[in-house]
Amino acid sequence: MGSLGAGYTTKHLVNLLWFGQAIATAEALLLARREAIDLGLMQRALAESAASSSFIRDDLGALFDGDYLTSFGLDRCCEELSAITALARRDGVPFELSEQVERIYQRALARYGPADGELLPVAMLEEQAGIQLRHRS
């Protein structure tokens, strides 16, 4: 990837974008659900639009099943986000949106502790909205 540490930085940037997509997508879906838009139709619309991403195509189904992806700890997510936002501050790069993603993940860590579940911030947003994104039984 480049100089020493570039691979580490690249990994953190990839995860930052994935975490940010998860938050932005969850917010959009919460509003869609509140507005009585069918989430299955919304998912298809997103997957076929400029907003499409691997998160929407590959991971959104798990979220609709109530799976907050327990393969990665929330504390580790926060460590990575903190490292990459600190790097941006050090380098003088504007990083406001990314810092907001970090704050949301930090709030989820305070709420759930160091649990496994990289999508637990979505669960927190669901709680705040009083809406669940999972398929209704």
Domains of the chain: 6-129 (1.10.1040.10)
User: Token pair for residue 68?
Assistant: 């907050």
Residue 1, SS3?
A: coil
Radius of gyration of the chain (CA): 15
pLDDT tens column, 48-93: 999 999 999 999 999 999 999 999 999 999 999 999 999 999 999 9
For the entire predicted model, the pTM comes to 0.93
Model confidence over 86-128: pLDDT tens digits?
Answer: 999 999 999 999 999 999 999 999 999 999 999 999 999 999 9
Cβ neighbours of residue 21 closer than 8 Å, sequence gap 6 or more: 53, 55, 56
Distance CA 102, CA 108 (A): 10
Instruction: Return the half-sphere exposure (C-beta side, CA atoms, 13 A cut-off) of residue 44.
Output: 4
